[in-house]
Homo-oligomer: A and B are copies of this chain.
Amino acid sequence: MSENESNALIVQKFGGTSVGDPNRIKNVANRVKGYHDRGFKVVVVVSAMGKTTDGLIRLAQEVAEEPSKREMDMLLSTGEQVSIALLAMALHSVGVEAVSFTGAQVKILTDGNFSNARISKIDTKVIENSLAKGKVCIVAGFQGVDVDENITTLGRGGSDTSAVALAAALGARECEIYTDVDGVYTTDPNKVPQARLMKKISYDEMLELASLGAGVLHSRSVEFAKKYGVVIHVRSSFHFSEGTLVVPEEQIMEKLLVTGVTLKSDESRISLTDIPDRPGVAAEVFSRLAESGINIDMIVQSTGQNKLNTISFTVLRKDVESSEKSLNTVLKIWGSGSMSVAKDIAIVSAVGVGMKSHGGIAARMFNAFAKEGINIEMIATSEIKISCVIDKEHGQKALQLLHDVFGLEKTAG
């Protein structure tokens, strides 16, 4: 962002690590001051300091086995309240006028779904009044209030969502999400050294990458940004280099066939074969698993001979035993079908909006694997994603292969 673009409104979000101790809070204050001094109107959203939330959860567990969700939200929301007050003080110390607000004070209205509430409306009056007086506004992330003024929290990635929602409501020109990585990479740089920082990525690509475990942004905040066209800037809180812009697809001039590739290595595949082919079968399987608190990732179903079905899906490896237990009950009820489990699998995926208009991506992927003797056990696709289940031992190699085949180290973001 250049000097002449000042006077614009910008939302900046700092996570728990960035405000982890008094010194880091002072660093954040200095960064915010930089923008304020250049004329930007700044709204800052902060999370709870470092391990605060964990400490509060422990306290709750000591007084109650199953703490009520309403009271849990009452408890946890104090974490962000501490951060906003301290950041306001730190800003005052460096000569910047600033004022902090809880979610309730800026009327971040949510539904009443405690611990996982959804934002329905934000009344921007209070913030706009303070901005008009030249003040930096600091808003507690992760929290809101329902219509009865109960305090709610937004669940995982909640502060990102708060920031994006505020940016949308205020018509901010950008929502900066400060994090401990430099931005969004073509793949995990720890796994593929040639991984490249992307300058731009579309909401849908970001959503696919987020669901594939590229944990920079939580899906919900990206969905919100997409809905309201908020530009997200994912960048590092450790230096001043630009990171990755998450933007509407139209703003990406050169649509890459493949933008990023990912690898998940902590899953197992479960297949149910020769099961009844009638309505409700899949529902029975997956409701049973949901009841046991098991999350499903990929699902593939195909009809075999004699009207008998096969359903394959992946679960986290840690959930394999409890999944088998639940499914054995189901098979017993049906009186047919058998189960096979591949415990050590990997899921490699390629994501890119260019896939929409170009065929042949899947073929290139499958060919690359075939040449290296990597067997594909399951395939699942979306409009902009192809995922393959392979043996876990080939995961790392497959990821590197895809990064090379699609030329990700060279392409311009």
- Given A74-B84, A99-B70, decide whether A89 and B105 contact each other with a Cβ distance below 8 A: no
**Which interface residue of A84, A86, A87 has the most chain B CB atoms within 10 A?**
A86
* Given known A-B contacts A81-B78, A93-B65, A86 and B105 have beta carbons under 8 A apart: no
Any B CB within 8 A of the CB of A300 = no
Stretch among A37-45, A56-64, A193-201, A357-365 lining the B interface: A56-64
Take A25-B63, A62-B22, A64-B92 as given contacts and tell me if A100 and B74 are in contact as well, using a CB distance cutoff of 8 Å: yes
The CA-CA distance from A70 to B84 in the complex, in Å, is: 12
- Report B-chain residues with C-beta under 8 Å of the C-beta of A71: 85-86, 88-89, 92, 100
Whether the Cβ atoms of B60 and A72 lie closer than 8 Å is: no
**Least distance between A306 CB and chain B CB atoms (Å):** 54
Q: Determine whether the beta carbon of B88 is less than 8 Å from that of A68.
A: yes
The proximity string for A residues 76-101 relative to B, scoring 1 for CB distances below 8 Å and 0 otherwise, is 01100110111111101100000110
Measured between beta carbons, the chain B residues less than 8 angstroms from A78 are 78, 81-82
Q: Is A67 an interface residue (CB 8 A)?
A: yes
Interface centre among A60, A87, A89 (most CB of B within 10 A): A89
**A78-B81, A84-B74 are known contacts. Are A105 and B149 too (CB-CB below 8 A)?**
yes
| Residues in chain B near residue A89, CB distance under 8 A | 60, 63-64, 67-68, 71-72, 75
**Which residues of chain B come closer than 8 Å to A374, judged between CB atoms?**
none
**CA A78 to CA B89, docked complex, whole Å:** 16
Asked, given contacts A56-B82, A104-B104, A105-B149, whether A90 binds B74 with beta carbons under 8 Å apart, the answer is: no
Residue A233 lies at the interface, judged by CB distance under 8 Å to chain B: no
Given contacts A86-B59, A149-B105, contact A92 B68 (CB under 8 A): yes
Kindly report which residue of chain B lies nearest to residue A29, judged by CB atoms: B63
- Chain B residue at minimal CB-CB distance from A88: B71
Number of copies: 2
Give A29 to B62 CA distance when docked, in angstroms: 13
- Quick one: which of A211-234 are within 8 Å of B by CB? none
For the complex formed, measure the closest distance between the CB of A405 and the CB atoms of chain B, giving whole angstroms: 50
A92 to B74, CA, bound (A): 15
User: Which chain B residues border A85 with CB–CB below 8 Å?
Assistant: 60, 71-72, 74-75
Alpha-carbon distance between A140 and B175 when the two chains are bound, in angstroms: 35
CA distance A72 to B81 in the complex (A): 11
**Chain B residue at smallest Cβ distance from A105:** B149
Kindly list chain B residues whose C-beta atoms are within 8 Å of the C-beta of A385.
none
Q: Which residues, 225 to 257 on A, are CB-close (under 8 Å) to B?
A: none
Shortest CB–CB separation between residue A114 and chain B, in angstroms? 12
Q: Across the interface, do B149 and A63 meet the contact criterion of CB distance under 8 Å?
A: no
CA–CA, A99 and B71, complex, Å? 8
Q: Give the residues from 339 to 381 in chain A that come closer than 8 angstroms, CB to CB, to chain B.
A: none
4 tightest A-B CB contacts, nearest first = A22-B62, A75-B85, A78-B78, A64-B89
Given A59-B86, A63-B90, A67-B89, 11 other A-B contacts at CB below 8 A? A22-B59, A59-B82, A63-B87, A64-B89, A64-B92, A70-B99, A71-B86, A71-B88, A71-B89, A74-B81, A104-B104
